[in-house]
Amino acid sequence: MSEHFALVMCDAEGRPVTPFGPLHPTIVDYCAASAALFARLGYEPPSISYVAVSGSAPAVVGALVGPPSDGRVAIAYFTLADFEGRGIATLTARHLCAIAATAKPPPTIVAKTLPEPNASTRVLPRSGFAHVGEVHDDKPGTAWLWERVL
């Protein structure tokens, strides 16, 4: 991938700190949900949401889902359909892991996916994750758990 890539922090209201002009409605929705999440968990950079920019376009949204707890921190991300298959989600996951690794001591980084082969089940192994089992998740019910130990 030769395009410019940047991970832009979002503020406590879920807005990217770098203005991009109009955002895709999916990113707007994600940012609003992220702001609500961090209103409950506490807004504690670097454990916040981010927008990944490819070229000059916002392409992926992601987060460190709260500060490390019990030696673990979760990452999450979502790619807009127009940007799938370009490696941007993999770059986002790797950058989120690098941010998580700055915590002292470095936490175990986890992620959840739907319990079936999909784009994330290809992205996570490329980012150093291994499938470690199944867990309960509020949305899909059963989810696959992935883990990366730094």
Domain boundaries, the chain: 5-149
pLDDT tens, 29-78?
999 999 999 999 889 999 999 999 998 899 999 999 988 999 999 999 99
Q: What is the pLDDT of residue 55?
A: 87
pLDDT tens, 15-30?
999 888 788 999 999 9
Q: Mean pLDDT over residues 115-140, rounded?
A: 94
pLDDT tens, 67-114?
899 999 999 999 999 999 999 999 999 999 999 999 989 899 999 999
Q: What is the pLDDT of residue 150?
A: 59
Please, which pLDDT band fits residue 138 given cuts at 50, 70 and 90? confident
Give the chain as a DSSP string.
--S-EEEEEB-TTS-BSS--SSPPHHHHHHHHHHHHHHHHH--BTTBSEEEEEETTEEEEEEEE-SS-BTTEEEEEEEE-GGGTTSSHHHHHHHHHHHHHTTSSSPPEEEEEE-SS--HHHHHHHHTT-EEEEEEEETTTEEEEEEEEE-
Q: What is the pLDDT of residue 19?
A: 83
Whether domain 5-149 has CATH 3.60.20.10: the reply is: no
Q: What is the pLDDT of residue 2?
A: 45
pLDDT tens, 119-129?
999 999 999 99
Does the predicted TM-score (pTM) go above 0.95?
Answer: no
